[in-house]
Structure 1
């Protein structure tokens, strides 16, 4: 399954020639929730740099700062480095789907960021679900398992 996902993002199955980092984007840009990373010197340096971007940590906040740090790091890569080492999937739901929650916040996102939001909405069969920012994660997991027809 992972091979099919990687193929759909990079367009070939020569994984030795694949990029080092594969991400998705949501309505806020690149997302740190779920990603593929190759074990390489570039990846080690990238992860070390990302980990040490402590200025993005907001003490007293419920946000860890990891996503803001990742966005900053990605958006400051040179075009050459980006092309050689990073791919961003066209469809978020390939491996980073979000369950749809009927809240004012999600409806607003859908209205103002329709295509981006729609690319990330979970549907049965998606490889991975990301429960970002949701309370009662266990309840959501059970709901998706029930609706997806998976045995319990």
Structure 2
């Protein structure tokens, strides 16, 4: 079989003729123009990125002064009754005054959730709190279905102080219960932690959670509230989304500390989690309703006299 060979190049190529100096100069001018436009575009992107992230050359993210040390955030829902909402506010304000903290009480319906369940309000409220209190060291979200019971316990001294948190951190703890291949990192130190959570019998619970005021926390809240995750329509909405992103995003797991439930999230119902005992910091009423025997107001009435007496003597 024979194959056609390509024609050979001529062994007598035409003589080299340099381009005119005028054409070369014009080309160099065009290249300089394109290069200048490209550099200008990249510089504009750099400035815009720096403005949006606060990391442009010569600027840094605002460093919180620690005043106040902690802001307590509770989303108020008047469906549980105006009287109950007032009791919750009184409870938070009384505790905050004792420790030099601030309180923030956004209402259900304050934010446009674009069709997402109202329980997502907590995530937007936390993002709002970071902007509203730029000098706070920590943001403590405590759900409305809870009361602070022990005024002598300080969030930033008795939970978040390096030595205290170091002893409480549950290392190699399964993220989902009863067992999970995803566990908290054993090598983390308290100064690396930006998110503090507890677990109940079902798993991670975000009804009492602490965030450090940091750029990471802004990233975390933006990730948690991402439209993609909200579109998954998890059964427990933001709770299951939280569990999901902790398990599958190492950038979040690497900043997480799980601590014993009764540290800041004891339950009035022992069938759901660790039961409240005298001296515990917080009591929660998971699943309490707006009306009836299991109403939040009815549950709280069992504890109101105790916390008011403790706060009066603190």
What is residue 204 of structure 2 aligned with on the other side?
30
What is residue 112 of structure 1 aligned with on the other side?
none
**Residues 74-85 of structure 1 aligned to structure 2 (within 5 Å):** 74-78=246-250, 82-83=253-254, 85=255
Deviation track 1:126-150 (CA, whole Å, cap 9, x = no partner) reads: 212222211211111110224x364
Correspondence 1:9 to 2:178: no
What is residue 42 of structure 1 aligned with on the other side?
216
Q: How far is 1:55 from its partner?
A: 2.5
Stretches of structure 2 lacking an aligned partner (at least 5 in a row): 1-153, 169-189, 290-294
Q: How far is 1:69 from its partner?
A: 0.4
- For residue 133 of structure 1, give the secondary structure of its aligned residue in structure 2: coil
The higher radius of gyration belongs to: 2
Correspondence 1:129 to 2:283: yes
Deviation track 1:42-65 (CA, whole Å, cap 9, x = no partner) reads: 11111111112212436xxxx651
Alignment root-mean-square deviation, CA: 2.8
Deviation track 1:71-102 (CA, whole Å, cap 9, x = no partner) reads: 00111132x7534x11000x20110111026x
Residues of 1 paired with 2:216 and 2:246: CA distance?
Answer: 13
Q: Please, what TM-score do these two structures have when normalized by structure 1?
A: 0.70
**Residues 1-152 of structure 1 aligned to structure 2 (within 5 Å):** 1-2=154-155, 3-7=157-161, 8-11=164-167, 17-52=191-226, 53-57=229-233, 65-78=237-250, 82-83=253-254, 85-89=255-259, 91-100=260-269, 106=271, 117=273, 120-135=274-289, 136-146=295-305, 148=306, 150-151=308-309
Aligned pair in 2 of structure 1 residues 21, 55: CA closer, same or farther (>3 Å)?
Answer: same
Residues of 2 paired with 1:130 and 1:51: CA distance?
Answer: 25
Q: How far is 1:37 from its partner?
A: 0.3
More helix by share: 1
Q: Please, what TM-score do these two structures have when normalized by structure 2?
A: 0.36
- Say which structure, 1 or 2, has more relative contact order (CA 8 Å, 6+ apart): 1
Count of residue pairs the alignment pairs up: 127
Q: How far is 1:21 from its partner?
A: 0.2
Is the contact made by 1:10 and 1:87 (CA closer than 8 Å) also made in structure 2? no
Is the contact made by 1:93 and 1:126 (CA closer than 8 Å) also made in structure 2? yes
